[in-house]
């Protein structure tokens, strides 16, 4: 009996592994499809253009930050400072809008890149743990933003900047367009460029990458600079949409939402693998779940508990690959 059943068990084991693999790779898309299907059936007016617009606009800043976070997590790192970078850009924008929209935006982007450079240098050259290095900038960055802004909320009146936040091109909101273009660019970077290969190699095995002659430190610094830049873009867009600079509130806890989107999208925290399409799907999925729970008249407390359960389920499914 046991002799005859052995091959069958082996086959079933292989099957199960293949199924697990498939769920790991495609679970986020299945979940997304299920949530969309549920909404099509249960939520009136879900299939309207207005709903799609609202959801996409709301998810855009998180999505942009999640793109940078995916790169960082791919190198086995993490960036907790993204929310504070948003605050910093929000504080800097009104200070420099007097010189024109473009200079103000450029200075904000430079601030994001600078924070990324500090993060990257601490991590690459001094060997500080990514959590601690970026934690220091999370604490210090928002403080600095509040010092710049004098702790006040400021109205934004610059028409160009406001247009960036609420305008559309061919019916697509500019905010969404920017997120889409950035997602494509980052996906190209990861899958088609040398830098992308090097990034994944560094995350997979740093020592081996060093031996293979990959400029590990340069790659790490660039990854954190990119993440800072993307966070600055998200900060600019959020400020433009809000029509006000609010450094004390903008982007608080967004690092957690971004990490969630990345992890739910199938990028393991252990590094060596980056999935940009999955990250996009993860961000949209988490946004839709929150929206669904709200439209179903469930309180936000339930929404948070459901999100927690989904995070645990997502990492549980990916556990085998992560521990390998």
Task: Write out the residues near other proteins by the rule CB under 8 A.
Answer: 78, 80, 122, 126-129, 131-133, 135-144, 146-147, 150-151, 256, 259-260, 263, 269-270, 299-305, 307-309, 311-312, 315-316, 319, 322-323
> Could you tell me if 264 and 28 are in contact, meaning their C-beta atoms sit under 8 angstroms apart?
yes
Closest distance between other proteins and the C-beta of residue 204, in Å?
15
In the complex with other proteins, which residue's Cβ is closer, 133 or 189?
133
What residues are paired with 171 via a beta bridge? Answer: none
Closest distance between other proteins and the C-beta of residue 306, in Å?
8
Name every residue whose Cβ is closer than 8 Å to that of residue 222 and which is 6 or more positions away in sequence. Answer: 120, 195
Full DSSP string of 27-38: HHHHHHHHHHHH
In the complex with other proteins, which residue's Cβ is closer, 117 or 303?
303
Closest distance between other proteins and the C-beta of residue 315, in Å?
5
Name every residue whose Cβ is closer than 8 Å to that of residue 284 and which is 6 or more positions away in sequence. Answer: 32, 55, 59, 63
In the complex with other proteins, which residue's Cβ is closer, 168 or 304?
304
Distance CA 51, CA 33 (A): 16
Helix, strand, coil abundance in the chain, percent, nearest 5: 80, 0, 20
Closest distance between other proteins and the C-beta of residue 126, in Å?
5
Closest distance between other proteins and the C-beta of residue 135, in Å?
6
Closest distance between other proteins and the C-beta of residue 301, in Å?
3
In the complex with other proteins, which residue's Cβ is closer, 136 or 242?
136
In the complex with other proteins, which residue's Cβ is closer, 160 or 248?
248
Closest by CA to 59, choosing from 224, 296, 313, 282, is 282
Q: Where are the beta strands (DSSP E) in the chain?
A: 154-155, 168-169, 172-173, 244-245
Closest by CA to 242, choosing from 82, 94, 65, 142, is 94
The residue count of the chain comes to: 324
Closest distance between other proteins and the C-beta of residue 249, in Å?
12
In the complex with other proteins, which residue's Cβ is closer, 173 or 271?
271
Distance CA 162, CA 157 (A): 7
In the complex with other proteins, which residue's Cβ is closer, 119 or 198?
119
Distance CA 324, CA 318 (A): 10
In the complex with other proteins, which residue's Cβ is closer, 212 or 256?
256
Closest by CA to 116, choosing from 219, 227, 256, 234, is 227
Closest distance between other proteins and the C-beta of residue 74, in Å?
15
Distance of alpha carbon 42 from the chain centroid: 29
Quote the Cα angle for 286-288-293, to 5°.
100
């Amino acid at each position: 009996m046991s002799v005859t059943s052995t091959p069958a068990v082996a086959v079933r084991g292989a099957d199960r592994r293949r199924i697990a693999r498939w769920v790991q790779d495609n679970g986020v898309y299945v979940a997304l499809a299920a949530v969309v299907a549920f909404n099509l059936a249960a939520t009136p007016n879900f299939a309207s253009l207005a709903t799609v617009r609202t959801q996409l606009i709301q998810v855009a800043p998180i999505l942009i930050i999640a793109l940078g976070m995916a790169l960082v997590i791919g190198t086995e790192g993490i960036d907790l400072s993204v929310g504070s970078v948003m605050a910093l850009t929000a504080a800097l924008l009104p200070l420099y809008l007097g010189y024109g929209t473009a200079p103000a935006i450029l200075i904000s982007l430079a601030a994001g890149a600078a924070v990324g450079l500090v993060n990257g240098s601490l991590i690459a050259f001094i060997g500080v743990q990514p959590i601690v290095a970026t934690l220091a900038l999370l604490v210090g960055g928002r403080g600095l933003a509040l010092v710049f802004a004098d702790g006040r909320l400021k109205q934004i009146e610059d028409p160009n900047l406001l247009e960036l936040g609420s305008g559309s091109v061919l019916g697509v909101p500019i905010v969404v367009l920017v997120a889409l273009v950035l997602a494509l660019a980052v996906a190209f970077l990861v899958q088609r460029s040398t830098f992308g290969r090097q990034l994944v190699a560094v995350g997979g095995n740093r020592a081996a990458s060093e031996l293979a002659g990959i400029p590990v430190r340069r790659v790490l610094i660039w990854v954190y600079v990119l993440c800072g830049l993307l966070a600055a873009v998200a900060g600019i867009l959020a400020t433009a949409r809000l029509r006000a600079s609010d450094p004390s509130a903008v982007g608080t806890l967004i690092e957690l939402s971004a990490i969630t989107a990345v992890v739910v999208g199938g990028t393991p925290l252990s590094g060596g693998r980056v999935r940009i399409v999955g990250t996009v799907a993860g961000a949209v999925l988490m946004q839709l779940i929150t929206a669904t729970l709200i439209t179903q008249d469930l309180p936000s407390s339930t929404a948070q508990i459901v999100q927690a359960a989904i995070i645990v389920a997502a990492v549980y499914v990916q556990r085998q690959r992560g521990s390998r």
